[in-house]
């Protein structure tokens, strides 16, 4: 039988929620922690549907929470993976310039990487590119040796097990949906679809529903979470030899998306993608998914329309790319010209939680707020999976200050 009173409740069974509970449990082994997840299993959304990449910290603004947590988190993640036999490989990646403007951007990208603490970044000639990835065509590239791949679902399950190993009175409950949050006698009352729980401190790491839970708790903030679906293709067995490891384009500095890229997964498959298309359901993984409440919530927010107005060309291009396998292929052919339609098949999809300000600007850094005795992770976009242990450490330190 599950008791209903806990010292700390963490909402969200993704990597950030799990890592947060784990870091708190390590620091406070006698505290009873309940982790609540609405799905039947942990890591079923952004944590289990991302590209499986261990990001290096190349792209992020120097001094940002993303840059700091990605680099420190990567080191800790790799150490953790080695210690607990999590499938991973630090294979390195190429960031390839396919036109003159992208080529001119490489030195600044390299400089940013060095400022963020990356080592041994190499700028490559076209011939050196093909020495690493023989089927790739580019005017130049950066080779980032500290990037890798990992099985994030395996990681999530290991972290969950470790929480219970530290304190057997702590619990992880799946299939438990939070319906409301109320305050009662200096404690938080968590109302779910099963039973109600009481805690001294609540930490919400709810990804696509982070703003909804913060609102239930009475927190004040100026952003809205809007979902963007990303579709992947997979290379067929006959074409998978054309990619050895990770191949990325030079990113567009105006957007947080990295563009369609090639990723070798830990199971050996090669994924290509994703695109980025507004979705009419927060967890809408299929092109036809629709939820009236989610749609009204997103489209009644002024920031959504300002985003559409400011970047309608980008949005239109992404919609066209999503609607046509042939057009998607053309984007892939910028990096690997020899790819044919028969070489790619429809793969999985994911939904990215994008935080928008009321001015329509994307809030691209991590955002964690304290509301009374509680903590809300309002925004944890990529590289949150790579940085999960570091983010968990940051949140655990915030909780200790509250205590």
DSSP string, 19-35: HHHHHHHHH-TTS-EEE
Preceding amide of 215 cis, omega within 30: no
Residues 39 and 187 in one domain: yes
Residue 301's pLDDT is 96
- CATH number of the domain where residue 310 is located: 3.30.9
Residue 315's pLDDT is 86
Residues 235 and 326 in one domain: yes
Residues 304 and 215 in one domain: no
Residues 136 and 260 in one domain: no
Residues 198 and 117 in one domain: no
Judge whether residue 256 has pLDDT over 70: no
Q: Report strand pairing: 270-273 vs 261-264.
A: antiparallel
Residues 128 and 98 in one domain: yes
Range of the domain at 175: 5-47+153-223+364-402
Residue 81's pLDDT is 98
Residues 196 and 335 in one domain: no
What confidence tens digit (pLDDT) does each residue in 262-303 have? 999 999 999 999 999 999 999 999 999 999 999 999 999 999
What tokens were used for 178?
């939070």
Q: Is residue 316 part of a domain?
A: yes
Residue 215's pLDDT is 97
Under DSSP, the state recorded for 251 is P
What's the rounded mean pLDDT across residues 173-198? 95
Q: How confident is the model at residue 122 (pLDDT cuts 50, 70, 90)?
A: very high
Residues 20 and 166 in one domain: yes
Nearest to 43 by CA among 9, 13, 10, 88: 13
Residues 108 and 232 in one domain: no
What's the rounded mean pLDDT across residues 358-377? 95
Residues 242 and 319 in one domain: yes
359 CA to centre of own chain: 23
What confidence tens digit (pLDDT) does each residue in 304-344 have? 999 999 888 888 888 888 889 999 999 999 999 999 999 99
Q: Please give the tally of structural domains in the chain.
A: 3
Judge whether residue 1 has pLDDT over 60: no
Distance, in Å, from the CA atom of 147 to the CA atom of 94, rounded to the nearest integer, reads 9
Residue 318's pLDDT is 87
What confidence tens digit (pLDDT) does each residue in 123-136 have? 999 999 999 999 99
> Between 320 and 6, whose confidence is greater?
6
Residue 232's pLDDT is 95
Question: Are the beta carbons of 295 and 280 closer than 8 angstroms?
Answer: yes
Judge whether residue 85 has pLDDT over 70: yes
Question: Are the beta carbons of 246 and 132 closer than 8 angstroms?
Answer: no
Residue 371's pLDDT is 96
Q: How confident is the model at residue 261 (pLDDT cuts 50, 70, 90)?
A: very high
Q: Is residue 40 part of a domain?
A: yes
Residues 239 and 345 in one domain: yes
Residues 257 and 375 in one domain: no
Helix/strand/coil for 189: strand
Domain boundary among 145, 169, 186: 145
Residue 233's pLDDT is 96
Residue 210's pLDDT is 97
Residues 6+ apart with CB under 8 A from 341: 325, 326, 329
Residue 312's pLDDT is 85
Helix/strand/coil for 125: coil
Place of tokens 């630090």: 90
């Amino acid at each position: 039988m599950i008791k209903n009173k806990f010292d700390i409740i963490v909402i969200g069974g993704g990597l950030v929620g799990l890592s947060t509970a784990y870091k708190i449990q390590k620091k406070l082994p006698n505290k009873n922690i309940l982790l609540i997840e609405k799905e039947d299993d942990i890591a079923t959304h952004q944590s289990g549907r991302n590209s499986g990449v261990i990001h290096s910290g190349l792209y992020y603004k120097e001094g940002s929470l993303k840059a700091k947590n990605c680099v420190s988190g990567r080191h800790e993640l790799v150490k953790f993976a080695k210690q607990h036999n999590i499938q991973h490989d630090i294979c390195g990646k190429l960031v390839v310039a396919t036109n003159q403007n992208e080529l001119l951007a490489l030195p600044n990208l390299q400089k940013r990487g060095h400022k963020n603490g990356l080592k041994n970044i190499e700028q490559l000639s076209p011939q050196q590119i093909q020495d690493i990835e023989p089927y790739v065509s580019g005017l130049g590239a950066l080779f980032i040796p500290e990037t890798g791949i990992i099985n994030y679902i395996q990681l999530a399950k290991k972290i969950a097990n470790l929480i219970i190993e530290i304190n057997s009175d702590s619990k992880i409950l799946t299939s438990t949906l939070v319906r409301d949050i109320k305050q009662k006698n200096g404690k938080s009352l968590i109302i779910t679809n099963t039973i109600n729980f009481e805690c001294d401190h609540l930490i919400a790491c709810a990804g696509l529903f982070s703003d909804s839970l913060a609102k239930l708790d009475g927190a004040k903030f100026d952003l809205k979470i809007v979902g963007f679906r990303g579709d992947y293709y997979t290379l067929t067995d006959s074409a998978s030899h054309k990619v050895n490891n990770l191949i990325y384009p030079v990113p567009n500095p105006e957007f947080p998306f990295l563009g369609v890229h090639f990723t070798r997964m830990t199971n050996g498959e090669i994924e290509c993608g994703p695109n980025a298309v507004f979705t009419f359901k927060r967890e809408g993984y299929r092109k036809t998914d629709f939820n009236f409440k989610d749609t009204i919530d997103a489209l009644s927010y002024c920031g959504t329309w300002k985003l559409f107005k400011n970047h309608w060309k980008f949005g239109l291009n992404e919609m066209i790319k999503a609607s046509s396998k042939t057009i998607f292929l053309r984007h892939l052919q910028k990096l690997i010209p020899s790819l044919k339609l028969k070489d790619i098949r429809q793969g999985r999809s994911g939904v990215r939680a994008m935080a928008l300000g009321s001015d329509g600007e994307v809030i691209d850094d991590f955002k964690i707020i304290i509301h009374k005795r509680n903590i809300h992770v309002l925004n944890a976009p990529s590289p949150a999976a790579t940085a999960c242990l570091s983010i968990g450490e940051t949140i655990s330190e915030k909780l200790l200050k509250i205590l």
